[in-house]
Amino acid sequence: MDITAKLLNDKLDFTKITSSLENLENILDSGKIPILICSDILKDNSNIYPSWNVTSDSISAYVSNILKAKLLIATNVDGIYSREPNSVGSKFFDEIDAKKLLTFNETSVDLMLSELLIKFGNNCFVVNGSFPERVLSLIGGKNSDKMIDDDYKPNYNFRYTLIRGE
């Protein structure tokens, strides 16, 4: 992941790379978007361990917990399904408890995400990032700096899932 962060940063003028959570606010204040290299943060971390069950989903949950930020995961499907979305009998979940999600063999998010949401008592939104307007709608639009409240259930005309870890 570090090399991807470095390559992305090299291509964009409005970003700045950092491996320190303490630098995030300064970077934002300078008008740049921080790109976080997580390997240094995760090196000696007992919450995240090297495994195929851990992807950027779990790393994002860990970092959002430290920052006390809400978590939205943009993926290539509308949210959480009971099985592969195109499978016969597949059920879509508008909302699901992280404990129930632990019983699924496979989902659009990594396996450790639910464990971390439960451990931290946090929630997470999962939305199809192939449609940027959906992401913007959930975070309150282009001019908003505030994601919707966890208890507010808007009536959008698109699907997304709220995973409850609390």
Domains and CATH numbers, the chain: 1-44 (no CATH), 46-164 (3.40.1160.10)
Please report, rounded to a whole number, the percentage of residues in the chain having pLDDT higher than 70. Answer: 88
Q: State the pLDDT confidence band at 106, using cuts at 50, 70 and 90.
A: confident
Range with the largest mean pLDDT of 10-14, 42-46, 62-66, 116-120: 116-120
Assigned token pair, 141 = 């639009």
Residue 143: per-residue pLDDT: 44
Pairing of strands 80-81, 95-97: unpaired
pTM across the whole model: 0.79
Chain centroid to CA 59: 8
**Alpha-carbon gap, residue 88 to 75, rounded angstroms:** 21
Yes or no: say if 8 and 35 are a contact pair by the CB < 8 Å rule.
yes
